[in-house]
Amino acid sequence: MTANLCSGVYFIRSAATGTVAHVPGHHKPIVGSVLDPDQAGSQLFEFKKIRDRFLITNVGTKLVVDLNGGKAEDGTTIVAWTYHGAENQQWRMERVGDEERFFSTSLW
Res 25: pLDDT: 85
Domain containing 78: what range?
Answer: 8-105
Question: What CATH number has the domain bearing residue 35?
Answer: 2.80.10.50
For the chain (108 residues), the mean pLDDT of every run of 10, in chain order, is: 75 88 90 88 92 93 93 89 94 70 42
**DSSP code of residue 44:** -
Distance between first and last Cα of the chain:
17
Report the alpha-carbon distance of residue 77 to residue 45 in Å, rounded: 18
Residue 3 in any domain: the answer is no
- Is 2 a domain residue? no
pTM of the model: 0.81
Supply the pLDDT for residue 105. Answer: 43
Number of domains the chain contains: 1
